[in-house]
Each structure stands twice: as C-alpha cells, then as structure tokens.
Amino acid sequence: MSKFKKIETSIEGVYIVEPTVFGDNRGYFMETYSKEEFKQIGLNYNYVQDNQSKSKKGVLRGLHFQTKNTQAKLIRVIKGEVFDVAVDLRHGSKTYGKWEGVILSEENKKMFVIPKGFAHGFLVLSDIAEFTYKCDDFYNAEAEGGLMWNDPDIAIKWPMGELKKEEIITSPKDANWPTLKELNKELFKE
C-alpha cells in the first residue's frame, strides 16, 4: 500500500495527493515525496528543481506557464493556506481553457500535481503562506508566459473571503498578462 493517495480531479492529469501522516503526542511525520511511491500510484515524474516562496494575505501569483521547457509541478503549502489553480492550455485537450483549484494548507497537507501544458497560480488566504513546489524542468525566463488571473472566459472562482478585488496584490507583470483569447491570437495568429 502506497504512503500517498492520488485523487482524480475534473481535468485529466491533474491530481490531488494526500500523504499518510503519522502523528502522536510529539507531533507528526510524513514523507512529502518518494519517486518510487509516486511511480506506484502512476505519477512518474523526474523532478529537477525545488522552489519556495513566502507571501502575505491577498497576494495572487500567476497565472504562469512556460512556452519552452514546460514544467510539471508538485505543489504543497508548508505554512498557512492558499487556493492553488491550474488552467489547461494543452491544445486539443477536451478541457482546454478549463481550470481546477484546491485549497492547500499546512493543516490538510494536500499536494497538487499539475502536468506540463498548464498555467499555474495561487491566492494566499492566510495572513502568511509559505509555498513550495517541485518542477520537472528548469525555469526559462525567455519562455515565460502568463494569463490574466481574472479572465472572464476562464472564470476562476477565487475564494475571496473578506478580500475585495481591489485588495488583491499582484506583481505589475501578473497584473498585465493577456486573456486566453488574446494569447491564442498572439500564439496562433487567428
């Protein structure tokens, strides 16, 4: 029996992973990744880079992707809580332009598996969140791309809570990504 439970989502290839947590009065222990254990549940990735970020409440990072050196990701939160999102950009996919989201937190210890061909972003729901993820290819700044986080055609249902839209904190770059329609016109000259 694997130490990890793979849960299917509404988009093929996107999964939520729940680790087995061993806890007692001292605290807990869990494996956060095992190449062999992941392979047993059908997640055969060769991760080559780990990233970590810390953000405050209301920070929205994304929606990011790479046009070359595309990356599959294994995402988790080690402090706080975020709403993590993947948008399918795989041309020919029956779920192209659709999104899947999950709350990741230090409490629920869930992980999110996003394959290559997706835009990715997250919104911090707690006062502070520390976020870590593995990638199966290296970051390529020249191939960086993004989508507007509030694209009405994608219509992500961000759990805003008490946050107002104008309280969302993005980088200048993230505030100016194109919509999916604009991106398609640029990439495919429709």
Name the percent of the chain lying above pLDDT 70: 96
Is 64 catalytic? The answer is: yes
Question: Pick the catalytic residue: 15, 45, 120, 133?
Answer: 133
| Cα distance from N-terminal residue to C-terminal residue, the chain | 49
Instruction: Go through the chain and tell me how many residues it has.
Output: 190
Residue 6: which pLDDT band, with cuts at 50, 70 and 90?
A: very high
Answer whether residue 188 shows pLDDT above 60. no
Strands (E), 34-190: 49-56, 60-66, 73-79, 81-88, 99-105, 111-114, 118-124, 128-135, 144-146
Taking the C-alpha atoms of residue 39 and residue 145, their distance in angstroms, rounded to an integer, is 30
Q: What kind and span of H or E run contains 4? A: strand 4-8
What's the whole-number average pLDDT of the chain?
94
* Residue scoring higher pLDDT (2 or 189): 2
How deeply is 116 buried, as exposed, middle or buried, from its count of CB atoms within 10 A (0-12, 13-18, 19+)?
middle
Which listed residue (15, 64, 120, 139) is catalytic? 64
> Each residue of 94-132: pLDDT tens digit?
999 999 999 999 999 999 999 999 999 999 999 999 999
Report domain 48-188's class. Answer: mainly beta
Distances (CA, A) of 2 to 6, 97, 105, 166: 10, 32, 22, 44
138-177 pLDDT tens trace = 999 999 999 999 999 999 999 988 888 888 999 999 999 9
Quick: pLDDT tens for 73-100: 999 999 999 999 999 999 899 999 999 9
Q: Is the confidence at residue 189, as pLDDT, over 50?
A: no
**Where residue 190 falls among pLDDT bands split at 50, 70, 90?**
very low
pLDDT category of residue 36 using cuts at 50, 70 and 90? very high
**How open is the CA angle 114-47-5, to the nearest 5 degrees?**
55
pTM: predicted TM-score of the whole model, two decimal places: 0.93
Strand partners, 18: 5
